[in-house]
Structure 1
Amino acid sequence: MTTTATEEAPAPPEQDERVGRHAGLAAILRRPEVGALVAAILIAIYFAVSTNAFAKPGGISTWLFTSSQIGIMAVAVSLLMIGGEFDLSAGAMIGTTGLTTGILMSEYGVNVWVAILAALVLAILIGLVNGIVVMRTGLPSFIVTLGTFFVLQGVNLAVTKILIGKVSVSGLQRVDGYVQGQQLFGSFVKIPLGSGLPLTIYAATFWWVGVTVAATWVLLRTRPGNWIFAVGGAQTSARQVGVPVFRTKVGLFMTTAICGWLTGMLSLFKTTTVQSITGVGLEFVFIICAVVGGCLLTGGYGSPLGAALGALIYGMVSQGIVFAGWDNDWLYAFLGVMLLGAVLVNNWVKARAEALR
């Protein structure tokens, strides 16, 4: 008699939780810039449908340039916020460097490149002082840079009046060598699109893209990028494992100052004028753009790309309100709502992503 043995079916392999159905969603939610990307798309669609000029080449040229100038500083501020610090002097730095370059060129006949380099050195020194004071004293960067903001604002007003008898520099297009600087910081390209106005892309946009790409690469692909996350998320632990906390944070303050100088040059050589109040008040816009882009106010989390998208949102809304014929004061209400909403969404997204791991 033949006996047939019944073989038990092999047990199904245990599924790796990392490739479960929630893995893809968690990976998406963990990207800080996702919310800003969705918001940018929705805002672009809304103003493109509700206004006539927004999506036309002339309209795109306008809000793209606005976004570019804000975006460069927003990217730098995002890196600093990821590192756990703030810089409220970032806006005033734009006016300081612009005034330095403009006065040296127009009043003292200094070569354009020497004047630009002198403004850069000044910006680096201010950023260095900010970083050293914060790290050596242990004072909150919010307080230290707020003090720097008032110092720069006062110097911009008082020293400018002492040197040239007024609080603004204008007519720089008549200064020898100005055209050379304009080619680097104030030039533009026109792209014909049909029979209407061409699409104008200014130098600021190319600088914005370059700064965003460089910041993203440094943050995600280099050792200093790991240091930035570490000092922002857990400074004490980072120091214990050998992260150069002092050097990293001072470098971040200097980077923010350099981007302030770059924005000052882009503004100066685009408009041919600079005032003592140039940039004042924009420091909070930079922070809002960074927060909208996914940066947490507590540090250790964020994205330069998200900050760039936050600046794009600001540029589209600031010009879209004009194209729609609304009262321009609604922009400030929108900024407040955008900030509060971004803080709530960022905290929820981060918590949700952690829960889905």
Structure 2
Amino acid sequence: MTVQLAEPSPAKSQAGSGARSGASVGDLARRPETGALIGTISVFVFFAIFGGGQFLSAGGAASWLNVAAELGIIAIPVGLLMVAGELDLSVGSVLASSSMTVAIISGYWGAPVIVGIVAALALGLAVGFLNGLLVTRTNVPSFIVTLATLSGLSGLTLGLSRVITGTTSVAIDPGQPAKQLLGTLVGGKFEVAIFWWIAAVLVVGWLLHVSPYGNWVFAVGGDKESARATGIPVQGVKITLFMASGLGAASVGVIQTMLYNSAQVANGQSFVFNSIIAVVIGGVLLTGGYGSVLGIVLGTLTFAIVSQGIYYTGWNSDWAALILGVLILAAVLMNNTFRRMALSTAPRTKRKG
């Protein structure tokens, strides 16, 4: 089976050609993550200069790497959804509800920690499946569907938490084994979440850029009707990606509960737009069909460096929002430039899927 790719083919073919024959400067300039790389290097140098030794210390590195790890676990599947032409705004509520699930089951009710973790992850998968099913069966834009899920699940979590526990914050003693796996600190500074993030990057990177499934994702985001005509299970691909997004958000909810030994219904709402910002900075198009896992990683690092680096400069932290806003605009303009370069020079090709 062959798939005619319109916009995604440059992104994948450029990634492959560099590995086979050596990348020239022109080749690198046409890669989807080039703009994100320039952004990451720029903000790192900026805060290394103005943040001084504290920013470059182990504690400084831990501050933005820990933020990047938690955000990255969510941003990677959200980015894949955006490559496929969809959005998921429900990740904040999924994180909070999953966090409360493990805390209530294993903290308030006293069940084994593994039971609470499995239930929390299953909840994330279930919400993702529901989102995917509604989007594919009703053709209602995913922005609307997941916005409704964000609000509805948030209200459900708040209501059930008050009914069951009488409070909106639940403590938990996760036990040492689960804490070491999901929510401890290495050397008192770095979260174990960093290793889970790296694992997710490697697995998803292989799926998107090496396996045939990656062709399906790019094809669905480029032109879903053409993809369907070639035999690609468009609905199945989208539902799977929504489930992955739900699983990523639930995983961070579990990690935070293990790390802080408690859960609150208000957790996670900042991840809704932060994950999208990181993905956009990483060069993924909101219209779908274009992007890379490396770009998402770089976008996540850039966001984390800016959000934490401002505190090491001694400046008013209110400026962080301004810097981030300017960065987003610059990143979008830069990524559009590199994308036009890629599409104007890379030939349209047929790829096996």
Tell me if TM exceeds 0.5: yes
- How far the C-alpha of 1:313 sits from its partner, in A, is 1.1
Is the 2:108–2:170 contact (alpha carbons within 8 Å) kept by the matching residues of 1? no
SS in structure 1 at match of 2:267: coil
Cα distance in 1 for residues equivalent to 2:59 and 2:331: 30
Which residue identity is paired with 1:36? A
- How far the C-alpha of 1:113 sits from its partner, in A, is 0.3
Is the 2:283–2:296 contact (alpha carbons within 8 Å) kept by the matching residues of 1? yes
Determine the structure 2 residue equivalent to 1:32.
Answer: 32
- How far the C-alpha of 1:306 sits from its partner, in A, is 1.1
> Of the two, which has the highest radius of gyration?
1
Cα distance in 1 for residues equivalent to 2:313 and 2:263: 29
Offset from partner CA, 1:271-308 (integer Å, 9 cap, x none) = 11221110013211101100110101110001122111
Determine the structure 1 residue equivalent to 2:47.
Answer: 47
Q: Are 1:296 and 2:285 an aligned pair? A: yes
Is the 2:34–2:338 contact (alpha carbons within 8 Å) kept by the matching residues of 1? no
The within-5 A match list for 1:233-252 is: 233-252=222-241
Cα distance in 1 for residues equivalent to 2:299 and 2:31: 14
Cα distance in 2 for residues equivalent to 1:30 and 1:85: 24
Q: Are 1:284 and 2:290 an aligned pair? A: no
Task: Give the gaps of 5 or more residues in structure 1.
Answer: 1-17, 191-197
Cα distance in 2 for residues equivalent to 1:207 and 1:329: 31
Determine the structure 1 residue equivalent to 2:93.
Answer: 92
SS in structure 1 at match of 2:54: coil
Is the 1:288–1:335 contact (alpha carbons within 8 Å) kept by the matching residues of 2? no
Q: Percent identity?
A: 39
Normalised by the length of structure 1, the TM-score is: 0.87
Determine the structure 1 residue equivalent to 2:208.
Answer: 219
Determine the structure 2 residue equivalent to 1:8.
Answer: none
Q: Are 1:320 and 2:321 an aligned pair? A: no
Q: How many residues align?
A: 325
Q: Are 1:135 and 2:136 an aligned pair? A: yes
- How far the C-alpha of 1:26 sits from its partner, in A, is 4.1
Which residue identity is paired with 2:56? A
SS in structure 2 at match of 1:169: strand
Q: 1:180 aligns with which of 168, 177, 180?
A: 177
Is the 1:26–1:353 contact (alpha carbons within 8 Å) kept by the matching residues of 2? no
SS in structure 1 at match of 2:290: coil
The within-5 A match list for 1:8-157 is: 24-51=24-51, 52-157=53-158
Q: Are 1:161 and 2:162 an aligned pair? A: yes
SS in structure 1 at match of 2:93: helix
Compared CA separation, residues 50 and 334, structure 1 to 2 (3 A): closer
Which residue identity is paired with 1:214? V
- How far the C-alpha of 1:349 sits from its partner, in A, is 1.1
Which residue identity is paired with 1:32? P
Normalised by the length of structure 2, the TM-score is: 0.88
SS in structure 2 at match of 1:53: helix
- How far the C-alpha of 1:347 sits from its partner, in A, is 1.7
Cα distance in 2 for residues equivalent to 1:334 and 1:95: 28
SS in structure 2 at match of 1:54: helix
Cα distance in 2 for residues equivalent to 1:243 and 1:60: 43
Task: Give the gaps of 5 or more residues in structure 2.
Answer: 1-16, 347-353
The within-5 A match list for 1:266-277 is: 266-277=255-266
